[in-house]
Every structure is written in C-alpha cells, then in structure tokens.
Structure 1
Amino acid sequence: MTCYDRRDLGLLLLRLGTGGVLAAHGAQKLFGWFGGHGLEGTGQFMESVGYAPGRANATAAGLAEAGGGALLALGLATPAAGAAAAGAMAGAAAVHAPNGFFNTGGGYEYAATLGLAATGLAVVGPGRLSLDHALGHAFDRGWMVPAALAATAAATAVVVGARNRRVREESGAGEQGALFDEAEALHEE
C-alpha cells in the first residue's frame, strides 16, 4: 500500500478547489451553466470589453477555464492545464486591472489568485494523488513546464495586447496609443 504524505493531500485539495472553480467558470461561458450566459452572452461581453471577435474569445477563455480546470482537478497534463488556466486568468485580470486590486471594487484580485494557483500547480506538479502520477507522468515531464508556460505567455501577450490597443482606440486615446506603440517599437530595435 502506498503511503501518501501531507504534500500529496495538500496538492490534491488545491487542485480540486482551483480546478473546480475554474471548470465551473468555464462551463458558465461555454454552456450557460451555473447562472452563466453561454457563448452568445459571454461573446457579447467579451466584445464589449475589447476582446474581439467576442464569440471566439469566449470560446477560447471557456475552453481554457473548463478544460484547464478539469485537468487540474484530475491532475492530468498538469503543466499544460495550469498554463492554460493561468493564461485565461491573465486575460480576465487585464479587464479588471483599471479597478485596482481588490475584488470588492471590481479589481483583479480573484483572477490573479486563480491564475497564480494554476501557475503554481503547473510548476510544482500534481502530487501522487493524480492521474499524471498513475500514468507515469507521461503528460507531466519537466520540459513541459517551461514550454507550456512560455507558449501560454506568448499567446496571452498577443491577445491581451490586441485587446488593450482596441480599448485605447475606442476610448479616444487611439492617436496617443499609436504613438506609444511606435515609441515602444523603436525602443525594441
């Protein structure tokens, strides 16, 4: 009989809690479950906050949350699952950032907490009470952690960057935003 330690039990609880919350939020977006608005309503919201096309972004966010959350809860493909969920939460944090940190004021506290928990699980791994462990870590290799996090960071930077440019342009700061982008491009050269 295998003896599991406190670390394994703690990781299981963290995975179940974080993964369950993320999966439920994804199901709200994708299917309208748990009081959500489904793809149509979520797509309209995404469009209104600068993520265009709205339905495609709602689908991507919903899949990252529902899929990443379910996989985290199961402890399967943990690096990819954690990275996907963290990317979705970075996109949510970008929407809430103008409202400050605390969730009570509409801030990014909640998204940041879920994103950091998902990232932490991607880095540390699922523990022995997981499908990854049962499958010999076939989907949880050491090289997968930096690869998954780097790919997600790059994709998230592109999506959030495009959203931020769109929001600046729509808010009347289009010309200033374009100047900022040009200055930023010159600085990178």
Structure 2
Amino acid sequence: MTCYDRRDLGLLLLRLATGGVLAAHGAQKLFGWFGGHGIEGTGQFMESVGYRPGRTSATAAGLAEMGGGTLLALGLATPAAGSAAAGAMGGAAAVHAPNGFFNQEGGYEYAATLGLAATGLAVAGPGRLSLDHALGHAVDRGWMVPLALGATAAVTAVVVGTRNQRLRKDERAEQATLFDDQEPLLGE
C-alpha cells in the first residue's frame, strides 16, 4: 500500500467515524432515534439554553448534524458538509463552554473535537475513496472551502452572539425581578 493509499484509507476512516457520530446525533434531534428526544424535546432543550425559537433551532442543528454527517461519511460535497457540521458543533460548544473543557464535567471537549474533525475534513478533502472523487469533485472545489467555512463562521457567530445577548438580557430581567421581590429592610 503506497503512502497515497494510506492517506485515502485514513480519510475514509475519519469521515466514517466523524460523519457517523454526527449523523446519529442529528437523527436523535430530528426523529428521536437512538434515545433522542425528537424535534419537540430537543426544541424545548434549545429554548432552555437560549436558542430561540427552540423548534427551529432543533431543526437547524439536526439537519446540520445529520445532513453534514451523512455527506461527510459519503465524502460528498465535503467543504459544505464539514462546514455545516462544524457550525452545529460551534453552537453546541457555546452551550457547554461555561462548564470548562472536559466532557465529564459537561464541558465543550466533545463538541469541539467533532467540530474540528469536520473542519479538518472540509480543508483536507475526502480522499479518493469518496463520492466526491467518483464524481470528479464537482461539489468539492478548492474555492468552496474558504467560502463554506467563512459563511458558516459568520452565521454561527450571529446565532451564538444572539443567544448570548438573549441570555444576558434574561439574566438581568431575572435579577431585577429578584430585587423587586425583596422585602424592605427595617428603617427604610
């Protein structure tokens, strides 16, 4: 096996693992498969962590994970697939970031790893053992990589930024309500 063949096999394994995990998580969100909560349950969770409207956010995350993961596993439209998956993982990492890095503490380690693997595949390409290669790289051109990653980064920044602003506003409103509910001290 030549070095080039090893690279292709390595990319195939990385695509199958990363894409498969992402697709399974997307199926949990969209359909409730594999112990997931489906659109309704995931939408309620999304609302609780500041992604509103929750149902729309659950659908977008589920499609990015399931669609991006499936396409990554197949090695089809790799720049767009990797970018979509990376964007979804950026949104997930934002939820887990307050808990630190490690997953066992609820941190962002897992989401960051999947997001970086998806980004790496978008940049490196799918290798010869892929549908992109079989189709002559019609939807895997070099110029597509920075375009897909740039567009996804911009959209993710807006979505996460809006969520963070909403959470700060909700926190201020909650603090104001708590302050208003306090009993006046004697002598006031």
Q: TM above 0.5, one fold?
A: yes
Tell me whether 1:99 sits opposite 2:118 in the alignment: no
Q: Which residue of 2 aligns with 1:83?
A: 83
Q: Which residue of 1 aligns with 2:178?
A: none
Structure 1 gaps of 5+ residues are 176-189
Equivalent runs, 1:80-159 vs 2, <5 Å: 80-159=80-159
Q: How far off is 1:173 after superposition?
A: 7.5
Alpha-carbon separation, structure 2, partners of 1:140 and 1:76: 8
Return structure 1 stretches of 4+ with deviation > 3 angstroms: none
Deviation track 1:120-162 (CA, whole Å, cap 9, x = no partner) reads 0000000000000000000000000000000100110110000
CA-atom RMSD in angstroms: 1.5
Alpha-carbon separation, structure 2, partners of 1:151 and 1:115: 15
The answer to whether the Cα contact below 8 Å between 1:22 and 1:68 also exists between their aligned partners in 2 is: yes
User: Partner letter of residue 119 of structure 1?
Assistant: T
Q: Which residue of 2 aligns with 1:68?
A: 68
Q: How far off is 1:10 after superposition?
A: 0.2
Q: How far off is 1:20 after superposition?
A: 0.1
Tell me whether 1:163 sits opposite 2:163 in the alignment: yes
Q: How far off is 1:9 after superposition?
A: 0.2
Deviation track 1:34-82 (CA, whole Å, cap 9, x = no partner) reads 0000000000000000000000000000000000000000000000000
Equivalent runs, 1:26-65 vs 2, <5 Å: 26-65=26-65
Bigger Cα Rg: 2
Q: How far off is 1:172 after superposition?
A: 1.9
TM-score, normalised on structure 2? 0.90
